[in-house]
Structure formats: C-alpha cells, structure tokens
C-alpha cells in the first residue's frame, strides 16, 4: 500500500492540528462558547490516550485502508503530551479566530 505515514503524533504540530483549528471554528459557528470548546477538546485529548479510543482508531484506519487500498498512516499509539497541548491550543485558536473574524 502507498500513502501518507504520519507516525504516532510525536511532533507538537501535525496535519491533525489543522483539524483541531477547524473544530474550534465549527464550535463557534454552532454557538458553543469558548469554555465548552476548550473543555470538549481537552476531554477528547484525554480520551484519545485510552486503549478504547486507540483501538477504535486502529479499527477505523484498517477499515478505511481496506476500502481505499491506500495506507493512511502507521500503527496509532496515541499522541505525545506536546501534541495534545498543541491540538487543544489549535481548537482554542480556531474559536478565537472565528469570533474575531465573524463575531
């Protein structure tokens, strides 16, 4: 299989940080306040480190790769602490950016 190998999210900022920024923008757009957006993002980052969510992501990626015949990334084992902080910060920046641009 050919495709993108992003590793196990050891870098502080990855392609997924952009997704977290977009999540922050989406939260602003649907009317969630800054604290709820930050809380949901923090809760996700904590849950993402559990074996339940990493197993779910492994299953999902395996299923997608079988359908697409395209390797998305390697075996997922969770994020580094620096990456988790940057992802939460990205969601916060996304919410603040949306509020500044359209609020």
What's the number of domains the chain is made of?
1
71 phi, psi to nearest 5 deg: -80, 120
pTM attached to this predicted model:
0.81
Is residue 83 included in any domain, yes or no? Answer: yes
Give the pLDDT score at 59. 87
pLDDT at 14 over 80: yes
Q: Per-residue confidence at 2, pLDDT binned at 50, 70, 90? A: very low
- What token pair was written down for 27? 């939260």
User: Range of 87's domain?
Assistant: 15-102
Is residue 6 included in any domain, yes or no? Answer: no
Is residue 10 included in any domain, yes or no? Answer: no
Is residue 94 included in any domain, yes or no? Answer: yes
Is residue 60 included in any domain, yes or no? Answer: yes
Give the pLDDT score at 8. 62
Give the pLDDT score at 3. 43
pLDDT tens digits, one per residue of 25-76: 999 999 999 999 999 999 999 888 888 888 888 888 889 889 988 877 776 7
Is residue 90 included in any domain, yes or no? Answer: yes
Place of tokens 């990334």: 73
Query: What's the burial of 16, exposed, middle or buried (CB within 10 Å: 0-12/13-18/19+)?
Result: middle
Give the pLDDT score at 21. 98
């Amino acid at each position: 299989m050919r495709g993108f190998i992003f590793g196990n999210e050891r870098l502080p900022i990855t392609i997924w940080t952009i997704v977290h920024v977009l999540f922050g923008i989406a939260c602003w757009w649907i009317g969630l306040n800054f604290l709820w957006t930050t809380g949901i993002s923090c809760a996700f980052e904590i849950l993402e480190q559990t074996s339940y969510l990493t197993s779910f992501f492994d299953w999902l990626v395996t299923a997608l790769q079988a359908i697409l015949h395209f390797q998305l990334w390697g075996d997922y084992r969770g994020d580094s602490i620096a990456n988790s902080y940057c992802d939460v910060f990205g969601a916060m920046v996304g919410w603040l950016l949306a509020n500044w641009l359209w609020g």
